[in-house]
Every structure is written in C-alpha cells, then in structure tokens.
Chain A
Amino acid sequence: MPDGGSTGIGASVKRKEDYRFLVGEGNYTDDINRPNQTYTYMLRSSSAHAKFSIDTSKASKANGVVKIFVGTDMEVGSIPCGWQVDSKDGTPMREPAHPPIAKDKVRYVGEIIAVIIAESLEDAKNAAELVDVNYDDIPVIIDMQDALDNSKGLVHDEIDSNVCYDWELGDSEAVDKAISEAAHITSLDIRNNRLIPNAMETRSAIGDYEHATGQYTLYTTSQNPHVIRLLMGAFVLGLPEHKLRVIAPDVGGGFGSKIFHYAEEAIVTWASNKIRRPVKWTSDRSEAFISDAHGRDHVTSVKLALDKDGKFLALKVDTLANMGAYLSTFASSVPTYLYATLLAGTYTTPAIHCNVKSIFTNTVPVDAYRGAGRPEATYLIERIVDKAAREMGISQVEIRRKNFIPVDAFPYQTPVALQYDSGNYNATLDAALKKADYEGFAARKADSAKRGMLRGIGFSTYLEACGIAPSAVVGSLGARAGLFECAEVRVHPTGSVTVFTGSHSHGQGHETTFAQLVSEKLGISTDMVEISHGDTNNIPFGMGTYGSRSLAVGGEAIVKAMDKVIAKAKKIAAHIMEASADDIELNNGNFEIAGTDKSMSLADISLAAYVPHNYPHEELEPGLDEKAFYDPLNFTYPGGCHICEVEINPNTGEVKVEGMTAVDDVGKVINPMIVEGQIHGGLAQGIGQALLENAAYDNNGQLLSGSYMDYAMPRADNFVDFKVGNEVTLCTHNSLGVKGCGEVGAIGSPPAVINAVVDALSELGVDDISMPATSEKVWNAINQAKNKN
C-alpha cells in the first residue's frame, strides 16, 4: 500500500490524461481554429549562406493571398538568447542579431525569408512558388574547425569571429600539474553527434489579435508559455504582459525543442495585428527537420590522469560546441553551465578543467535536447573511464568503485561548482549488476562466440544535475531569468481541487503525478483533483517544464501552496469546532481535534470558507485558494547505473542490443509506472543516439538526413525489454525528497551502449567507435583492426 492511500505517493495510478489522447480528443494547437483565420506558409531559404534579394510582386497577386511579408517589413526586436555567457577574458559572448525573417542574408537552410499568408495553406504554398528569390552564395561553414579559421569566412559579418565565446571552468594549473605527474594518462577524441528532436507533434502557432481590446493571444506548442510571453513580449514585439496571452494547450512531446522562442511565434502574433485576422502556421515534418532546434553536436578532446592504482587525479576537457547559425534561447548555457559543471560525474576526481568554444556555423540552431549538456558530459566521462580501465587492466566495475564519491562524503563539493546533496553510487551499481546478471555474462559471451558472434557489456555510472534551478545561482552565472516555479491550489466549495501549475505537461503525466501529491497531502482521491496548466491567463506564473524540474520545483510549489491551504483550513476548523488551531491534526483527509472524536472533512471546511456564516472574519479572508512560489535551494542530483549488453555480427557489423538495464536513483518516486515510462523513453532516445540517429550535413549546408527515409529514428524492434529498477536516496533540500527522472534515461545510456560495443570489439584491439555506431562503422573498425593485426 502506498504511503498516501490508493492514489497517493507511491501508487502507480493510471495516467488521467491518457483517455482523451487515446480516443483522439486531445486538443493540440493545430486542432484549434479561430474565426476568419488565415493560413501561413513560411518560405525558407534553400541556400545555407547567401546574400539574397526577393521579389514577391507576382506572388502577392496569386489566388487567395492575403498578405506577404519579407524581412524588411517586420522591424521588431531580435529573437533573444536567455543566457549570457562571458568568455574567460571577461568579454560577453558575441550575440549576433536574429531577425524573425531574414532581411538580406541567409545563414542556414531553413531560415525564413518570406511569410505568405493566404485563405488556405494550399493557396499560400502555390503563391510561394511564385516568389522570386535570387541567392548570391557565400562560402558555407559547416565544420567547426573550419569556423575557427576566419579566412574561411564569417557566419555573421557584424561580429569579427565565428566563436560565440571561449569559456572555461575549473583549475587549469592544477589539472596540468596533475597530468604532468600522473602515472597514467588516457586520451580520447569524441564527437557527440547532432540530433534532431522529432517530437511526435510538429510545432504550430496561431496569432490572434483582437482589435477592439488590443489583446493578443498566441496559441503555441510550447513547454513554457510564460517564458514565451516574456521573451516574445518584452524582447521581440514590445507587448506588455497584460495584453498578451500565451496558451500552450495539449503538446505532443517536446524533449527540449519546444522550450525556445521561435521566429514563427513572433511572426504569427505580429502579423495577426497587421492583417487584423488570426494567422495560423503548422510545421510539416520536413519543415521540422530544418526549423526545430537541433541537439548535441560537440567535438571534444579529453584527457584523464590516473595514479598507478587507477585513482582519478585530473580531467582535462576541450570542447567545440556547435551553436548553428543563431543563438537559440538556451543555446549558450547548454555546453557551459549544464555541461562543464557535470564533469565530476560520480567520481572524486580532484582537479577538473574544461574549455569550451562555442561556434557559429551555417546550420540550424542547436539548443537543449533531452538532457542538454549532461548527456555530452556523461558520455565523455564514461567513455574515458572505460578506456582508462582497459588501458590499465582494471575491471570496469572496479575502476568505478575505486573512484566513486563515498556515501559518507555527502554533501559533496565538486571542483566544478556543484555541491551534490545525496547519492549512493555503489547501491545503484550493485543492483544493476544483479539485474543485468553480470555473473552470467561470461557464459553468454561464450555462447555468442560459438555462433561466431562478438558480445560485449558496457557500463555507465552516471550522475546528472536537474531540478533546474536556484535562481540566485543561475543569475550569477548569466541566466536572464529566474528558475523558480509557481502553483495555486484552489479548493472548491464542495471540496474538489484544481491545481494551477506553471509546469507544463507534454507527455510527462503531470495531470496524474501532481494530482497524487494532492491526494497524499489532502487525503482526497486523484479523481477529485484537476491539474490546469499551459495558459498565462489561468496560471499565476510559470517557468515551464525542462531540465527535469517539474516535480522537484513545480511539485514543491504545489506542496507549499497546499501547506498554506492546510494551515488556513486548520484555523477554519479550529474556529468551527471551537478548538485551538495547534490542536488540529490532518489525518486521511480529516481535520481532527487531537485526542477527541471531533473532526471535519476538507469539504466541510471549504464549504464553510465559501459560505462563511460561521467564520473567523477578523482573522481570515473567506475562500480556500492559496498560491506559492518555490525557488529551489540547489540542483537535484539523480544518478545511477546503466548496463548495456550487445551482440555484434562481425561479418556485417550489425549491433544488436541484447540487454539494457537501468537502475536509477531519482529520489522519492511518486508514481512508479510513470517513472518507468519516462526511463523507457529516455533509454530509447539514448540508444537511438548511440546506434542510429545522426543529423548529417553536406559541405554545402544541405541537411542530408532531412526525412525519416534518411534520419534513423529508433523503433521498438531496435530494443529489448528494458530492465528498470530504482534505489532511493532522498533529495535533502526539498520536502518531497524528489530528484527528477525525465532525462536520466537519455543521459546515462549512450556511453553504456558504446562501451558495450567497444567491449565486444576490444578483443580485436578496437578501443573507440563514434556515435552512432552504425553497422558500417563497426564493420570498418573490425576490418581495420584485422588489417593491423
């Protein structure tokens, strides 16, 4: 029995939201239609780098065209970046202008060059074919090494370099000294492959300006409507909050790609005023490939110094991080504060230094994607540890145990700014070894060998920082926003509850998990609770959902609001039952006078609060409706152990995942089924990154993997049944003890998969393979190793 009755904390309550999705009655942005609405086709650049001129005169006369806008028509603010990162010499990052519609120069294939608004989408598309665009091509910069050489050209003429910033964290002197003295150095060059998020629902936006009131409404596929209201309202269009309502209704997946403020949102909002009609845009899948922010794309060289026993002494990391052509909303923070701060991982490495140059290229902007910086950090740590173990002849398990932060060392201050509050890395490792039947591996490998197959096992004992984030901390690091969360808990007169949360659910199951918090605390069933989110007019405030923050930050705000509700309810109960509020105890939804049989239910009290005939008016306002903001004291630090087992056909290089075990410590688990689902999804994306997915550009800046014919999305048959477990250490700085589970699967798993592939090939002398480890790459590695031997 879960702690809080049948629908409280710990119960696998079925997801309340799923019924409407399963019967096809979700309400997504594209399902919304406004009276007199127009349809937009975004004409996008087919050139990756060019000066261009554009003539829309013929298109403007085409059937059904309402209006065509080009860049010079839309004189508004630049699309802002939400985080300022300073270079190590103290200069602020280079922040080139980012107009919603390109004016005279395009910088990536997919950039908007004209907005065609018509009575129907087909009319708009027909007109788009009549727009005359003349491209005067400029040399294209795709490779980050090329970008470092100014003579190869500049993505932005107005800044003198393609380097956005040259940033560092950690003690380089200490690291260099340790490296010069160490018994062993392991080195590795790593590419963290560029990914395309591929949320199931493509982006969509409707701008709706009401002339009579001067009120703007933007319906949009967003993970954080208030943030969009702020970024677009304040920075791009100059609209005050009270005149701008942003609604993010049901959203079909985001994985980070729907955090950011995109040009299309500003365009439809602005245009709906210009043409005095609602303006709708919905991305098609091909468009999504070249207009949704991509993820990852790092090139890194890493060195690990070890003493003769395999103790880590120092880690040195040099990274080039691709920004694409413009700075997307959180792009600058991903390869810095969400990356370098993670480089201690689960280990006691005493000295760490990381240098990051982030680079503009003629590619789609790159920003946060499930894990955002932490998968990149985890990948390099767990790969270099794996390689070091092989080089030194220490087992993968032993080298990790040797270097784990011990349980009694918490709170643990890392050399890269973070202070971990809790964790037990041996516990997750032990549980995972058992679940993965590590002991049976040798026999399984022998069996594979009998069949001519290579078998390998790979580990990742990772950690991540989520529950983003303490505002004062991130503010001191350049964040241009706070990262608190807000909630309002409204107890209705008859005792049911609506929670208004600033978190946004786009697949995570908040409508269930958050309802379970209420069930637990107030002692009512989740059926009596509704979770409302996604509308700036309903929700007091919100910073949204990303960085596995919804429960640890958003959930805590709900708890704080409930605490206020309970405190007030006790006073009301005390008044009515003629007792002292201090003597009232809340048990299973009943407010009882301790030591007596007198009690009132929540419904009794809320009725009294809204029909306040017998009520302490001198002391309390009527009503039972409380709001709270919560700003976390620290990040939260989930961690765990992922173990992957693969079998490789040496003749074809095919890699088959034979086992995937994940034992994670995500803190207190509210709904085990939902947590398991989140981990499954994350593992799927992690395995996808490791074996299949890759956004490939040619030298002209054309995206070669621009559809599912060429971009390999993982499917169910790429996987095995995942073995998922959890080991709990509580977060020490929030009341629920929760850490976050949304990203761990995608963060922890890629190195486990690659380590398994390398393990299988290690008998041939292979010690690295890059992601994605396609069958051809593996086959090549086998051949090269054979030729060497």
Chain B
Amino acid sequence: MYELQYSKPSSVNDAVAEVKNSSDAKFLAGGMTMIPTLKARLSSADLLVDLKGSNLSNISVSSSEVVVGSMTRHCDVASSNDIKGSLPALAKLAGGIGDHMVRSCGTIGGSLANNDPAACYPSAVLALDATVVTNERSILAADFFEGMFETALNEDEIITEIKFPIPEKASYIKFPNPASRYAMVGVFMVKKTDEISVAVTGAGENGVFRCKEIEDVLNSNFSLDALDNIQISDDNLTSDIHASAAYRANLIKEMAKKGLKDLI
C-alpha cells in the first residue's frame, strides 16, 4: 500500500469537502474492495475518507418503499426483519454475498459505487427500478450503471441511500463462481403490478443488464413453464476461464427458471 492519510469525518458534507480539498482522495466504506486493491498497489489515494462516521446506515421501510442507507452492511440488510417482511429477495441477496467477514464489513453503497460486473446488488437495483440518492441528486437505476466498474457518480459524490419500490414479488437466484463466490450469473426478477422485470449480473460484458428476452416472454406468458424452451443469446456475454458466454447464457435461463417459481 502506498502511504496515505486517513480521516473519518462526522457528516456527509464534511466528507465531500475533504475529498474536494485533496488531490487524490477516495471514500472508504466497508473496505472489502478498496483495501485489497490498495494493498496490491492497484489503486492509490493520498487520503481515505471513511464514511463510517457519516450516519448513513439506517434502514426504513414504508408500505411502498424500502430505503437503505448507503453504509448499511450486507449482514444488516440480510437480518433486517423489516426488509425480510417487505422485500425478502433483497435480504436473501445480501445474505448470500461473500462470507461472514465480507458481509459484516461490506456495504450496499460500496457495492453500487464499485459496480463490479459480478456483484449482486446492481441486479436488484436495476430490476426494482430503485433510485440511488446521492448528496447531490437522485439517479434512476437505469441511468446509474454505465458499464463494468463504471457508474454515473462523480469523483466527489457520495451515495447516501437507495430507495427500493416494493413490488408484488421478487426473487434473486445466484450461481456462484466456484472460486470467488461472486455471481457467475445472478438473476433478479421482479413482478410489478403491470410488468415483469429481470436484471442479470455476472454475465454481461458491460456489467449488469436488463434481460429483455426473458422479460418479453414473461410479459406475454406469465406461467411456470414459460421459460422452459427459450434460448438466451450469448451476444455481449462474458467468456472467461470459469465459463463461456454460451454457458452463461444457459445459466441465465436456468436461474430465471428457478426464480420464476418464487414469483408465481
């Protein structure tokens, strides 16, 4: 790790100010991605601004919305009775991220800001049409993810909370990469009052995406066997040592078939 300074301001405004005032400062959330990349010298910063003091880890649930503070840890989302009651697929997703240590440190804001193409949360945010709220603005999910590790965030912009509309039903099915246990394919499916939406993570060359092929089928035929004979195209899907694009296309279908059972 290159030498750096550390600070833990006590408000979002102070955190933003500190980042603005320094030449190469970065926000630190759970550190689960940040610290290893710093240690491996794949990344550097002159100042790490820790968001733990900024009071961003609340969960609040109303009849229409689940609002999760950006510094809420995966384990807290996973164990929240409110979330389990109103949006259980989100709790399940959080409970399936990494291992105990990762879940006790990693945060939803860190995960979204990082936008790892194999991360789980982006699929929930995209499928649920959630809103990513920052210190400056509200960003619709459809506008937030801009490709692998790319988001609409500015350098000195902090995610403060994420607002998830509560759908009729939702499901998340993940096929873990056998090495990293990130998603090799993760499919988040949502039954809204008027439509089905499906987002896929782990598989896209440009990160998380909405899977129109599945959505179209289910919007015209919402039944258990609707997906049995579909063929997902492997265009724009990732091929790597773990899985070819064709295999990932198959996993999208298979995970969606499983997820559909939870929706019906």
CB of A768, distance to nearest CB on chain B (Å): 19
* Contacting residues, chain B, for A699 (C-beta < 8 A): none
Contact with B along A114-128 (1 / 0, CB 8 A): 000000001001100
The chain B residue sitting closest to A691, CB to CB, is B178
CB of B246, distance to nearest CB on chain A (Å): 9
The CA of A286 and the CA of B42, in the complex, are separated in Å by 13
Contact with A along B162-198 (1 / 0, CB 8 A): 0000000000000100111010000000000000000
Chain A residues within 8 Å of chain B by Cβ, number: 23
Contact with B along A281-297 (1 / 0, CB 8 A): 00000100000000000
The chain B residue sitting closest to A696, CB to CB, is B241
Task: Kindly state whether residue B242 has any CB partner on chain A within 8 Å.
Answer: yes
Contact with A along B2-42 (1 / 0, CB 8 A): 11000000000000000000000000000000000000110
Picked from B1, B40, B178, B250, the residue with its CB within 8 Å of the CB of A286 is: B40
Contact present for B244 and A776 (CB under 8 Å): yes
* Contacting residues, chain B, for A700 (C-beta < 8 A): none
Contact present for B179 and A705 (CB under 8 Å): yes
Contact present for A705 and B241 (CB under 8 Å): yes
* Contacting residues, chain A, for B40 (C-beta < 8 A): 286
* Contacting residues, chain B, for A126 (C-beta < 8 A): 2
Q: Contacts A125-B41, A652-B254 known; A709 to B179 CB distance under 8 Å?
A: yes
Of B2, B180, B247, chain A has the most CB atoms within 10 Å of the CB of B247
Interface stretch (choices A180-188, A575-583, A710-718): A710-718
* Contacting residues, chain B, for A708 (C-beta < 8 A): 179-180
A451-468 contacts to B (CB < 8 Å): none
Q: Contacts A122-B1, A652-B254, A704-B241 known; A711 to B175 CB distance under 8 Å?
A: no
A631-690 contacts to B (CB < 8 Å): 651-653
B208-252 contacts to A (CB < 8 Å): 241-244, 247, 250-251
CB of A493, distance to nearest CB on chain B (Å): 50
* Contacting residues, chain A, for B254 (C-beta < 8 A): 651-652
Interface of chain B: mostly helix, strand, loop or mixed:
loop
* Contacting residues, chain A, for B2 (C-beta < 8 A): 122, 126
The chain B residue sitting closest to A711, CB to CB, is B179
Q: Contacts A125-B41, A704-B241 known; A776 to B179 CB distance under 8 Å?
A: no
Contact present for A713 and B179 (CB under 8 Å): yes
Contact with A along B109-130 (1 / 0, CB 8 A): 0000000000000000000000
CB of A776, distance to nearest CB on chain B (Å): 4
Contact present for A710 and B179 (CB under 8 Å): yes
Chain B residues within 8 Å of chain A by Cβ, number: 19
The CA of A638 and the CA of B1, in the complex, are separated in Å by 48
The chain A residue sitting closest to B244, CB to CB, is A776
Contact present for A779 and B178 (CB under 8 Å): no
CB of A518, distance to nearest CB on chain B (Å): 41
* Contacting residues, chain B, for A711 (C-beta < 8 A): 179
Task: Kindly state whether residue A692 has any CB partner on chain B within 8 Å.
Answer: yes
Contact present for A712 and B179 (CB under 8 Å): yes
CB of B191, distance to nearest CB on chain A (Å): 23
CB of B179, distance to nearest CB on chain A (Å): 4
A123-142 contacts to B (CB < 8 Å): 125-126
* Contacting residues, chain B, for A779 (C-beta < 8 A): 247, 250
CB of A90, distance to nearest CB on chain B (Å): 42
Picked from A125, A692, A776, the residue with its CB within 8 Å of the CB of B247 is: A776
* Contacting residues, chain A, for B180 (C-beta < 8 A): 708-710
Task: Kindly state whether residue A774 has any CB partner on chain B within 8 Å.
Answer: yes
* Contacting residues, chain A, for B179 (C-beta < 8 A): 692, 705, 708-713
* Contacting residues, chain B, for A692 (C-beta < 8 A): 178-179
The chain A residue sitting closest to B175, CB to CB, is A652
The CA of A779 and the CA of B175, in the complex, are separated in Å by 14
The CA of A696 and the CA of B179, in the complex, are separated in Å by 13
* Contacting residues, chain B, for A286 (C-beta < 8 A): 40
Number of A-B contacts (CB under 8 A): 45
The CA of A780 and the CA of B40, in the complex, are separated in Å by 36
Of B2, B182, B242, chain A has the most CB atoms within 10 Å of the CB of B242
* Contacting residues, chain A, for B241 (C-beta < 8 A): 694, 696, 704-705, 710
* Contacting residues, chain A, for B1 (C-beta < 8 A): 122
Contact present for A122 and B178 (CB under 8 Å): no
CB of B203, distance to nearest CB on chain A (Å): 13
Of B179, B244, B250, B254, chain A has the most CB atoms within 10 Å of the CB of B179
A317-340 contacts to B (CB < 8 Å): none
* Contacting residues, chain A, for B175 (C-beta < 8 A): 652
* Contacting residues, chain B, for A776 (C-beta < 8 A): 242-244, 247
CB of B219, distance to nearest CB on chain A (Å): 24
* Contacting residues, chain A, for B243 (C-beta < 8 A): 776
* Contacting residues, chain A, for B257 (C-beta < 8 A): 651
CB of A124, distance to nearest CB on chain B (Å): 12
The CA of A197 and the CA of B26, in the complex, are separated in Å by 36
The CA of A709 and the CA of B40, in the complex, are separated in Å by 14
Contact present for A122 and B3 (CB under 8 Å): yes
* Contacting residues, chain B, for A710 (C-beta < 8 A): 179-180, 241-242
The CA of A780 and the CA of B251, in the complex, are separated in Å by 13
* Contacting residues, chain B, for A775 (C-beta < 8 A): 178, 247
The CA of A775 and the CA of B250, in the complex, are separated in Å by 12
The CA of A776 and the CA of B244, in the complex, are separated in Å by 8
CB of B261, distance to nearest CB on chain A (Å): 14
The CA of A52 and the CA of B182, in the complex, are separated in Å by 38
CB of B100, distance to nearest CB on chain A (Å): 12
The CA of A225 and the CA of B247, in the complex, are separated in Å by 48
CB of A706, distance to nearest CB on chain B (Å): 11
The CA of A710 and the CA of B243, in the complex, are separated in Å by 11
A471-524 contacts to B (CB < 8 Å): none
Contact present for B250 and A652 (CB under 8 Å): yes
The CA of A508 and the CA of B2, in the complex, are separated in Å by 39
The CA of A125 and the CA of B40, in the complex, are separated in Å by 11
The CA of A692 and the CA of B178, in the complex, are separated in Å by 7
B83-128 contacts to A (CB < 8 Å): none
* Contacting residues, chain A, for B250 (C-beta < 8 A): 651-652, 779
* Contacting residues, chain B, for A652 (C-beta < 8 A): 175, 250-251, 254
The CA of A705 and the CA of B240, in the complex, are separated in Å by 11
CB of A208, distance to nearest CB on chain B (Å): 27
Q: Contacts A704-B241, A776-B244, A776-B247 known; A712 to B3 CB distance under 8 Å?
A: no
The CA of A776 and the CA of B257, in the complex, are separated in Å by 18
Contact present for B244 and A712 (CB under 8 Å): no
Contact present for A774 and B3 (CB under 8 Å): no
* Contacting residues, chain B, for A694 (C-beta < 8 A): 241
Of B2, B41, B178, chain A has the most CB atoms within 10 Å of the CB of B178
The CA of A717 and the CA of B175, in the complex, are separated in Å by 14
The CA of A710 and the CA of B3, in the complex, are separated in Å by 28
The chain A residue sitting closest to B251, CB to CB, is A652
The CA of A711 and the CA of B177, in the complex, are separated in Å by 10
* Contacting residues, chain B, for A651 (C-beta < 8 A): 250, 254, 257
The CA of A710 and the CA of B240, in the complex, are separated in Å by 10
The CA of A712 and the CA of B244, in the complex, are separated in Å by 17
A749-783 contacts to B (CB < 8 Å): 774-776, 779-780
CB of B101, distance to nearest CB on chain A (Å): 13
The CA of A682 and the CA of B33, in the complex, are separated in Å by 32
CB of A283, distance to nearest CB on chain B (Å): 14
The CA of A705 and the CA of B2, in the complex, are separated in Å by 25
The chain B residue sitting closest to A654, CB to CB, is B175
CB of B33, distance to nearest CB on chain A (Å): 11
Given contact pairs A651-B257, A775-B247, A780-B247, a sample of 17 additional A-B residue pairs in the complex whose CB atoms are under 8 Å apart: A122-B2, A286-B40, A652-B251, A652-B254, A653-B247, A694-B241, A704-B241, A705-B241, A708-B179, A708-B180, A709-B180, A710-B179, A710-B241, A712-B178, A712-B179, A775-B178, A776-B242
10 A-B pairs in the complex with CB atoms less than 8 angstroms apart: A286-B40, A692-B179, A694-B241, A704-B241, A708-B179, A709-B179, A710-B179, A710-B180, A710-B241, A776-B242
Task: Kindly list the 6 A-B residue pairs having the minimum CB-CB distance in the complex, ordered from nearest.
Answer: A712-B179, A712-B178, A776-B247, A709-B180, A651-B254, A704-B241
Query: Using a CB–CB distance below 8 Å, which chain A residues touch chain B?
Result: 122, 125-126, 286, 651-653, 692, 694, 696, 704-705, 708-713, 774-776, 779-780
